[in-house]
Amino acid sequence: MALPSLTLSLQFGELADAATHRAALPRHWVIRCIRHALDADAEITVRIVDAEEGQALNRDYRGRDYATNVLTFDYAIEPVVMADLVLCAPVVAREAAELKKPLTQHYAHLLVHGTLHAQGWDHETGEADAEEMEARETEILAGLGQPNPYR
């Protein structure tokens, strides 16, 4: 079965260590991660931001005054998934270090996670939904040759 098509805009905000994050997110890898998580064709922007921009977006749009690892802004699911995924580079780097995972591997998980959110998946609606989403993420990541992120 062919993977859905993807139109991708990959953007990097002003980051102190931009080279590290650019190296962890080659365009072909970002496309591969997202396409494997899609159930339909999509137009997605991925933006890598600093802590200040990440915190402002989380505060302004979710009412939570801290920078989080990934924010998903979904605009349409059918017939084409349209969304913005915003990943906060310092948070992702800190989490990867704490989890003792390569930065690329943690980004892959968050790209899949955000893409599932863009298609209506939600882990905050109950235990069963969280378990279902985690299982789907694990399945997608295994297909990408990545380990279970929840171990």
Alpha-helical (H) ranges within the chain are 18-24, 27-37, 51-62, 89-99, 103-118, 127-143
Percent of the chain with pLDDT over 70: 99
- Annotated binding-site ranges: 113, 117, 123
| Per-residue model confidence as pLDDT tens digits over 49-71 | 999 999 999 999 999 999 999 99
Structure tokens that stand for 124 in this block? 């905050």
Cα distances (angstroms) measured from residue 54 to each of 36, 48, 92, 148: 25, 9, 11, 26
DSSP state of 2: P
> Does pTM surpass 0.85?
yes
Task: Compute the average pLDDT of residues 110-130.
Answer: 92
Report the amino acid identity of residue 103: L
Residue with tokens 């998580």: 37
pLDDT of the residue at 126: 80
Cα distances (angstroms) measured from residue 75 to each of 11, 31, 40, 120: 18, 19, 14, 11
- Annotated binding-site ranges for Zn(2+): 113, 117, 123
Q: How far apart are CA 14 and CA 27, in angstroms?
A: 18
pLDDT of the residue at 125: 83
| Per-residue model confidence as pLDDT tens digits over 19-48 | 999 999 999 999 999 999 999 999 999 999
pLDDT of the residue at 2: 87
Q: Which class in CATH covers the domain with range 6-143?
A: alpha beta
pLDDT of the residue at 14: 92
Reading across the β-sheet that carries 81-88, which strands appear in turn?
A: 6-12, 42-49, 81-88, 70-76
Q: How far apart are CA 98 and CA 62, in angstroms?
A: 25
